[in-house]
């Protein structure tokens, strides 16, 4: 649970060496910025999307690779962008393209968190899709714009990874005592990956609701905001971390806050249905997207 002290912490509390890495963090990929802008428009033409993707052949290839995964359920393999857009729909395809555009940033290995190349990207896509599915199922107003914060929720790990690795023994010592990793991270580093992710998104000038969802995606309890983005991203992230075995399910750290379930109007049975779907989606992504 987020404490009042955590909520009032200022940037000045974060070590300068970490803030320097935030300042040096690359900008959001230009294609991603353009594609995300299209998502807010009512009428988007196929030609507009194709034009953006054709300026980056590597991105276009990644989009087709992602679209052709069993995860997105196309009836047959597609080899042309226009064909994929027509089968998936403009909005859906644009979201897949935004996800693909983040591969350049999130496709690398992340030291300190034990993430091999592509694993952060794969997890982020699964969480974004799960978040959208939960929001749509519950008919929440946030259904249309929860994809991006869910996609970017772990961005801060790319900055904190080397610092986590350097202090691994201290963090592991706290975790072994039952302290959740994110809290142990904050105790040792004076910040956590959620806070750093929020700072990066502020640097990218993204909307406040999106920044808040990333900032509190581990502890969306006692927040004063009226929207449900933090709760949706929190739950989707939790669902995609649970592997379904008996030990994992019984672990208190894998049990969602009851207040979050109440706000999202989800009961225990519905939660298990979402958990099973999330596990299936993760498997399909893992099977389809392999990395060197």
Is residue 93 in a domain? Answer: yes
Residue 250's pLDDT is 40
Is residue 5 in a domain? Answer: no
Is residue 150 in a domain? Answer: yes
Residues 194 and 75 in one domain: no
The parent domain of residue 263 ranges over 107-292
Residue 103's pLDDT is 86
Q: Residues in the chain with pLDDT < 70?
A: 1-12, 225, 242-254, 286-292
Is residue 11 in a domain? Answer: no
Task: Tell which of 75, 101, 127 closes a domain.
Answer: 101
Is residue 10 in a domain? Answer: no
Residues 234 and 189 in one domain: yes
Nearest to 189 by CA among 4, 22, 1: 22
Residue 245's pLDDT is 38
Residue 11's pLDDT is 63
Residue 165's pLDDT is 95
Residues 208 and 97 in one domain: no
Is residue 6 in a domain? Answer: no
DSSP secondary structure string for all residues of the chain: ---HHHHH--GGGS-HHHHHHHHHSPPPPHHHHHHHHHHT-S---HHHHHHHHHT-HHHHHHHHHHHTSGGG--SS---SHHHHHHHH-HHHHHHHHHHHHTHHHHSS-BTTTTB-TTHHHHHHHHHHHHHHHHHHHTT-GGGGGSHHHHHTTTTTHHHHHHHHHHTHHHHHHHHHTT--HHHHHHHHHSS-HHHHHHHHHHHTT--HHHHHHHHTSS--SS---SS-HHHHHHHHHHHHH---SHHHHH-GGGSPPHHHHHHHT--HHHHHHHHHHHHHHHHHHHHH----
Residue 281's pLDDT is 77
Residues 129 and 215 in one domain: yes
pLDDT tens digits, one per residue of 152-209: 999 999 999 999 999 999 999 999 998 989 999 999 999 999 999 999 999 999 999 9
Residue 292's pLDDT is 42
Is residue 203 in a domain? Answer: yes
Residue 242's pLDDT is 63
User: Could you tell me the CATH number of the domain that includes residue 129?
Assistant: 1.10.3210.10
Residues 127 and 86 in one domain: no
Task: Tell which of 63, 80, 101 closes a domain.
Answer: 101
What are the backbone angles phi and psi of residue 138, rounded to the nearest 5°? -90, 5
Please state, in angstroms and rounded to a whole number, the distance separating the CA atoms of residues 189 and 184. 8
Q: Is the pTM of this model over 0.75?
A: yes
Is residue 17 in a domain? Answer: no
Residues 74 and 179 in one domain: no
- Total domains, the chain: 2
Specify which residues 110 forms β-bridges with.
115
Residues 113 and 257 in one domain: yes
Residues 220 and 177 in one domain: yes
Please state, in angstroms and rounded to a whole number, the distance separating the CA atoms of residues 223 and 231. 10
Residue 246's pLDDT is 34
Residues 130 and 76 in one domain: no
Residues 55 and 132 in one domain: no
Rg (CA), the chain: 19
Residues 88 and 142 in one domain: no
Residues 238 and 143 in one domain: yes
Task: Tell which of 65, 81, 101 closes a domain.
Answer: 101
């Amino acid at each position: 649970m987020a404490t009042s002290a955590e909520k009032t912490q200022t940037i000045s509390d974060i070590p300068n060496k970490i803030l320097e890495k935030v300042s040096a963090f690359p900008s959001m990929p230009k294609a991603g910025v353009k594609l995300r802008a299209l998502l807010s428009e009512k009428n988007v033409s196929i030609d507009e999307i194709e034009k953006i993707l054709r300026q980056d052949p590597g991105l276009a290839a990644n989009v087709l690779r992602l679209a052709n995964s069993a995860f997105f359920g196309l009836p047959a393999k597609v080899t042309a962008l226009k064909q994929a857009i027509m089968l998936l729909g403009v909005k859906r395809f644009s979201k897949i393209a935004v996800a693909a555009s983040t591969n350049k940033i999130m496709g690398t290995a992340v030291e300190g968190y034990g993430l091999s190349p592509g694993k952060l990207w794969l997890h982020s896509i699964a969480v974004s899709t799960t978040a959208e599915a939960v929001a749509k199922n519950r008919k929440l107003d946030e259904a249309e714009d929860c994809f991006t914060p869910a996609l970017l929720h772990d961005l801060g790990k790319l900055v904190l990874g080397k610092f986590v690795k350097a202090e691994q023994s201290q963090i592991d010592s706290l975790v072994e005592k039952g302290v959740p990793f994110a809290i142990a991270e904050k105790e040792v580093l004076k910040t956590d990956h959620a806070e750093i992710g929020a700072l990066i998104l502020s640097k990218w000038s993204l909307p406040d609701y999106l920044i808040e969802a990333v900032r509190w995606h581990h502890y969306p309890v006692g927040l004063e905001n009226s929207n449900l983005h933090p709760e949706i991203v929190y739950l989707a992230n939790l669902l995609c971390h649970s592997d379904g075995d008996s030990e994992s399910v019984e672990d208190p750290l894998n049990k969602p806050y009851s207040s979050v379930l109440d706000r999202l109007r989800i009961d225990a049975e519905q939660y298990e249905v979402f958990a099973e779907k999330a596990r299936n989606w993760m498997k399909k992504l893992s099977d389809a997207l392999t990395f060197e």
